Structure 1
Amino acid sequence: MKADTKKLVQEHGFVLKKKFGQNFITDRRIFEEIVEKAGITKDDVVIEIGPGAGGLTAQLAEAAKAVTAVEIDIELAPVLKESLKEFSNVELIFADVLKWDLKTYLQEKYPGESIKVVANLPYYITTPILMKLLEERLPLRTITIMVQKEVADRIQAQPGGKDYGAITLAAAYYAEPKIVMTVPPHVFLPAPKVMSAVLHLQIKTRPGAGAERISAGSRDACPADTEPDLYPELSEQAEKYLFRVIAAAFEQRRKTLLNALSNKGIAPKEKIKAALSEMALPEDIRGERLSLVEFQQLSGLLAEKE
């Protein structure tokens, strides 16, 4: 019998903390749908970030081979121990996930396993946690996270829209993101003032633009089987340069790409003009119009011309 979240919290006299962004889901149907959307099976080891009162954790434990739940608030220990007492495949770790060495943990405890992350992330710290999971090149298959709907919209945005930005491109570089469900405020304790969404990210076998279908020069579709040769995996140095270019493009997003990049010292204007010309892009184009493929090609051309 799964414990009732509201009742469990009240019985233990637990006070939810604003500093940790604690909003616990109270509807069991939401737990079930998240597990379904995450595609959890008995072959999977799940890393859950922010288990809260353990409602989702219990649902994950029923579906998965094993669950490691990482919680920052040690005062939730008695709540979690009670709500998860019937499950022998759950390990509780009380730590700040941003400081915890997840890579070493997975290498030592679960080498070669199918690893999936599921999380109801505090909204104030969504981006740092997501980028840690992506940038550390962890052996993950998928990441399924509850985030503010506005943030989810930005992460899966398309070029040219108001939501499109640096976080969109960073997520697309490492994964294929998709909003799989929306969640109303009333299913949380306490209820947030915003809509939430569950975002499912399928991790790419290799990072970069290879999974995209757009040819940077022509902006037309290109065959998927030609993409790996067109867009080989970047070196660490080239990757860092790519994200410098992306950051500069969106730091002053209303400026033209030419001005935004030259103002941030990415390259002299003449070199940027030459690269845009080679890509058949107009000099007055803004960064928000470029796809990941095009940013990757542009950064490669600018690096060559240095």
Structure 2
Amino acid sequence: MVTPLLGPAEIRRLAAALGVAPTKRLGQNFVHDANTVRRIAAAAELTADDVVVEVGPGLGSLTLALLPLTRHVYAVELDAALATALPGTVTEFAGAEAAARLTVRHLDALRLTADDLLDAGEPTALVANLPYNVAVPVVLRLLAELPSLRRGLVMVQKEVADRMVAGPGSKVYGVPSVKLAWHAEARSAGRVPPNVFWPVPNVDSGLVAFTRREPPPGADRRAVFAVVDAAFAQRRKMLRAALAGWAGGSGAAVAVLERAGVPPTARGEELTVVEFTAIAAARQRAG
């Protein structure tokens, strides 16, 4: 049996019944196009053994598409009304068996920990339509807090998607690019037009797929991310100047960069995550 998905009429009926109006504060844009939802679920390449984390399920459009494909879905929802209503929506459209494989957490995803997701096994995948204003922090938080996550597919603002998948030398390569690359290999998985959402946003969305990999050896995440933040805080400057505050002076920055094998005249936008890690490691070795 194919689970029916939510169309424009169902979305508006559910929202009206709950007295819910999408808010910019929570970054709410509900997907009402079933074909788009199926496309996202298929692009996630899930298996029947996967335990999925979905952040911001809203009225349940994507949730209904994910449940038939997976072992369990953890839906993390900040809006209390939406969190309360989601199990009933799943029961109505997909039945009690599907609802039994759904766990709803009324939480801020930026405060989520592994202890919040213990009911049905460790999560293995993240699939979500993320609020534009917190998309990158949410992805990085979950990758750091949930080591069992092996892969994911997220829908974000197209501009944010471009930054997440950018490589060294790109004009949009920056902090999100490097920090995501430390955790995972990311790639673009397509574009999503505004007209599949209610309300219609004034920007396109993009799909970003990622697969976790081992981080570069030599330094821990906090140390590497401190270098990244310092380098891009003054991205137009050469690293010998941009890292002066972080290293304790321009001379100290030059010494660290030379030990790491990175030219002091380089700029952050030219470096790979491996090179940022080498810089952090060189400073740690120097004590």
Correspondence for 1:220: none
Q: Does 1:62 align with 2:68?
A: yes
Matching of residue 172 in structure 1 with residue 181 in structure 2: yes
**Aligned partner of 1:92: which letter?**
V
Matches within 5 A, 1:86-101: 86=95, 87-88=98-99, 89-101=101-113
Cα gap change, 1:265 to 1:142, in 2 (>3 Å): closer
1:19 partner SS: coil
Mapped partners of 2:236, 2:210: distance in 1: 29
Deviation of the 1:81 alpha carbon: 3.8
Distance in 1 separating the partners of 2:227 and 2:247: 7
Separation in 1, partners of 2:159, 2:44: 20
Change (3 A) 1:115 1:137: closer
Partner amino acid for 1:17? T
Question: Deviations 1:22-58 (Å, cap 9, x if unpaired)?
Answer: 1000101111111111112211111111111111101
The residue type paired with residue 98 of structure 1 is: L
Using the TM superposition, give the Cα deviation of residue 301 of structure 1 relative to its aligned residue in structure 2, in angstroms: 1.9
Q: Distance in 2 between matches of 1:45 and 1:195?
A: 29
1:2 partnered with 2:13: no
C-alpha deviations, 1:75-100, integer Å up to 9, x for none? 22565244211123222222222234
Q: Call closer, same or farther: CA 1:302–1:91 in 2, change over 3 Å.
A: closer
Cα distance, 1:142 vs. partner?
Answer: 1.2
**Against the structure 1 CA distance between its residues 298 and 96, is the aligned structure 2 distance closer, same or farther, given a 3 Å change threshold?**
closer
Q: What residue number does 2:119 align with?
A: 109
Is 2:71 the counterpart of 1:44?
Answer: no
8 Å Cα contact 1:2-1:83 kept in structure 2 = no
What's the offset of the Cα at 1:279?
Answer: 5.3
* Mapped partners of 1:83, 1:292: distance in 2: 43
* Cα distance in 1, alignment partners of residues 83 and 70 from structure 2: 22
CA contact (8 A) 1:8 1:79 kept: no
Relative distance call for 1:137 and 1:95 in structure 2 (3 A) is closer
Matched residue SS, 2:200:
coil
Is the CA contact (8 Å cut-off) linking 1:174 and 1:203 kept in structure 2? Answer: yes
Pick one of 221, 226, 239 that aligns with 1:257. 239
Deviation at 1:5, TM superposition (A): 2.1
Q: What amino acid sits opposite 1:254 in the alignment? A: R
Alpha-carbon deviation of 1:11?
4.6
Matches within 5 A, 1:126-165: 126-165=135-174
Q: What amino acid does structure 2 have at the position aligned with 1:269?
A: S
Aligned match of 1:289: 270
Q: 1:299 to 1:98 in 2, by over 3 A?
A: closer
Given that 2:112 and 2:142 are in contact with CA atoms closer than 8 Å, whether structure 1 keeps it comes out as no
Which structure 2 residues correspond to residues 160-239 of structure 1 after superposition, within 5 A? 160-204=169-213, 206=214, 208-209=215-216, 232=217, 234=219, 238-239=220-221
State the superposition RMSD in angstroms: 2.1
Residues 154-198 of structure 1: per-residue CA shift (max 9 Å, x gap) = 111111221111111110001111111210111100011111011
Unaligned runs of 5+ in 2: none
Going from structure 1 to structure 2, the CA distance change for 1:279 and 1:11 (only over 3 Å counts) comes to closer
Q: Secondary structure at the match of 1:92?
A: strand
* Aligned-partner SS, 2:35: helix
Are the aligned partners of 1:145 and 1:199 in contact in 2 as well (CA < 8 Å)? yes
Q: Is the 8 A contact 1:157 1:164 kept in 2?
A: yes
Contact 2:174 2:232 in 1 (8 A): yes
Residues 302 and 28 of structure 1: CA distance in aligned 2, closer, same or farther (over 3 Å): same
Name the counterpart of 1:217.
none
Quote the sequence identity (%).
35
The number of equivalent residue pairs is 275
- Name 2:228's counterpart in structure 1: 246
Deviation at 1:304, TM superposition (A): 2.2
Q: Is the 8 A contact 2:218 2:277 kept in 1?
A: no
Distance 2:5 2:261 in 1: 59
Gaps of 5+ in 1: 210-231
Q: Is the Cα–Cα contact under 8 Å of residues 144 and 201 in structure 1 kept in the other structure?
A: yes
Counterpart residue identity of residue 39, structure 1: E
